[in-house]
Structure 1
C-alpha cells in the first residue's frame, strides 16, 4: 500500500520518523489522516531531510519496501487537477449532470427489474394454482 509521509524528528528523541499524512485507497483515492491521529514509524536512513514529503510503499508485513521523493508526484497532481482550466465550475456541473443522469437510469432499471420480478411471481403463482387444479380429481 502506498502512503504519503513526512520525515520528522521524534519529539522525545533525535531519531527521524516517517509520519503518515495520507494513504492510497484501493479505488485510487487518498485518505488523509487527521492531524492528531497520524501513524508513524522509525526511519533510520538519512537520504531525505527532515520535513521532506516522500511516497512510501509498505509490504504485507507493514515494513518499508520503498521510499521516494514525492516532489514529482505532487507536481503531477497539481498539473492534472489544479492548473487553471482543468477543473472549472462548468466541468463540475457537467459531471454532476452525468451523475444525475446515471442515477435516474439506475432508478428506472431498478424499477423495471422489480416490476418484472412481480410479474414472474404472479405467473408462478398462477402456474402453481393451475397445477393444483389439474392434479385434483
Structure 2
C-alpha cells in the first residue's frame, strides 16, 4: 500500500523514522492518517529531516520502496490547483451532481407511475373487449 510520509529524526534512538501522513485508498482517493504512526528507518543518510516521501509498504508493514514526493506533489499542484479546483469548487460540483441525481430519481418515479397507469388502462381495455365479444358474436348470429 502507498503512503505519503514525512521523514523525522528520532533523537532518542538517533535514527530516522517516517511519520505516515496519508494512505492511498484508490487511484484518486487518499485518506488522512489522524493518529501518529511512525516507521523506523534506521541510520539512513540519503533522506533529510522534514522531507516528504512516498513509501510503499508490504501487507506485513515492511518498506518495499521509498521515493521523494516532490515530483508527485508538483504534479498535484499542476493538475488540480493550477486549474482552480478548490474544495469549494468540488463541493459545488458534488451538490450539483446530487441535484441531478434527485431530479433523475423523480423523473424515473414519474415514468414508473405512468407505465403502471398505462398497464392498468391496457388491462381495462382488454377486459372491455372481452366483455364485448359475446355481444359481437350474438349480433353476428342475428344477421345469418
Bucket of the pairwise TM-score, normalised by the shorter protein: 0.5 to 0.7
Q: Which residue of 1 aligns with 2:126?
A: none
Instruction: Give the SS at the match of 2:72.
Output: helix
After superposition, residues 73-112 of structure 1 pair within 5 angstroms as 73-83=72-82, 85-87=83-85, 93-106=92-105, 109=108, 112=112
Preserved CA contact (<8 Å) 1:22 1:30: yes
Distance 1:27 1:91, change over 3 A: closer
Q: Tell me the CA shift for residue 86 of structure 1.
A: 3.0
Q: Which residue of 2 aligns with 1:20?
A: 20
Q: TM-score, normalised by structure 2?
A: 0.64
Q: Tell me the CA shift for residue 96 of structure 1.
A: 2.8
Preserved CA contact (<8 Å) 1:80 1:86: no
Distance 1:12 1:108, change over 3 A: farther
Q: Tell me the CA shift for residue 103 of structure 1.
A: 3.4
Q: Distance in 2 between matches of 1:64 and 1:75?
A: 24
Q: Which residue of 1 aligns with 2:9?
A: 9
Preserved CA contact (<8 Å) 1:55 1:68: yes
Structure 1 stretches of 4+ with a deviation exceeding 3 A read: 88-95, 106-113
Q: Tell me the CA shift for residue 110 of structure 1.
A: 6.9
Structure 1 gap segments, 5+ residues each: 117-137
Aligned: 1:39 with 2:37: yes
Structure 2 gap segments, 5+ residues each: 117-144
Root-mean-square deviation (Å): 3.0
Distance 1:91 1:68, change over 3 A: closer
Instruction: Give the SS at the match of 2:3.
Output: strand
Aligned: 1:69 with 2:68: yes
In our comparison, the structure showing a higher alpha carbon Rg is 2
Aligned: 1:50 with 2:49: yes
Distance 1:60 1:107, change over 3 A: farther
